[in-house]
């Protein structure tokens, strides 16, 4: 739920748009997923930065007050939507609802960014983590088929997510790469990125691992300069 005003959101998005103009377009894709209330206010100002949503309904249409359907997002011109974020799962979202949301995304040509890794802790072994992620992927993709370019998976070890400036506690780049390589071995057509406490400081280390294809940026995205430093880290190492 950040930033708190449309004016702030516009300024942040405009700064990112200007920064992206100086990048090599075919070497990166930059997507921002603002709170839904800002979507209309931002979409006409963005041309090089793509626009996505933070969530989508598991239902196609009907009397579901407060929900936003995949078709509504599509008709607004959005291309991406985050599905299964750890903060959504912490509110009670389960693999079954994630699966229904993915079905809605594919039915309406939205590109989901599926988050996996919820339920792990700093003491979770690599083998146990692989089992948790395998379950989330298998349950999420049940009954679905997708081609290359249709899906992004974000490895998001929830316990590492920062709760504000100075509280980031990322896992090591080596561990992130190990898990991402495991995901890619199972789903070769998916693009796999890392998303938990990613900052301008640790992005270059993550980007050195070619298996990590980008980042799902949280708190650092509220600072345009830091956000673009993260983007550039992955371009320079691509």
N-term to C-term CA, the chain: 32
**91: DSSP letter:** T
Give the CA radius of gyration of the chain.
Answer: 17
Q: Let me know if 156 is a catalytic residue.
A: yes
Q: Which candidate in 17, 85, 93, 129 is catalytic? A: 85
Structure token digits, residue 86: 């750890």
Q: Let me know if 85 is a catalytic residue.
A: yes
* CA dist., res. 9 & res. 68, Å (int): 20
Q: Which candidate in 93, 129, 156, 213 is catalytic? A: 156
Contact 143, 106 (CB under 8 A): no
Report the candidate in 4, 5, 12 with the shortest Cα–Cα distance to residue 226. 12
Kindly list the catalytic residues: 85, 156
């Amino acid at each position: 739920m950040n930033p708190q005003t449309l004016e702030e959101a516009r300024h942040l998005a405009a700064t990112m748009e200007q920064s992206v103009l100086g990048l090599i377009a075919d070497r990166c894709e930059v997507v921002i997923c603002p709170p839904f209330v800002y979507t209309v206010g931002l979409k006409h100002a963005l041309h090089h930065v793509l626009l996505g949503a933070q969530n989508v309904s598991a239902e196609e249409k009907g009397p579901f007050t407060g929900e936003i359907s995949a078709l509504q997002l599509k008709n607004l011109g959005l291309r991406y939507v985050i599905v299964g974020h750890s903060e959504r799962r912490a509110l009670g979202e389960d693999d079954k609802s994630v699966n229904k949301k993915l079905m809605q995304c594919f039915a309406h040509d939205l590109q989901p960014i599926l988050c996996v890794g919820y339920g792990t802790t700093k003491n979770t072994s690599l083998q146990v983590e692989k089992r948790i992620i395998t379950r989330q992927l298998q349950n999420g993709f049940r009954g679905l088929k997708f081609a290359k370019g249709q899906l992004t998976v974000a490895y998001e070890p929830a316990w590492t997510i920062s709760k504000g400036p100075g509280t980031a506690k990322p896992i090591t780049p080596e561990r992130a790469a190990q898990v991402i390589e495991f995901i890619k071995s199972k789903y070769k057509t998916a693009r796999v990125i890392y998303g938990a406490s990613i900052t301008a400081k640790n992005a270059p280390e993550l980007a050195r691992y070619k298996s990590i294809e980008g980042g799902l940026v949280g708190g650092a995205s509220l600072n345009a300069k830091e956000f673009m430093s993260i983007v550039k880290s992955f371009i320079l190492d691509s």
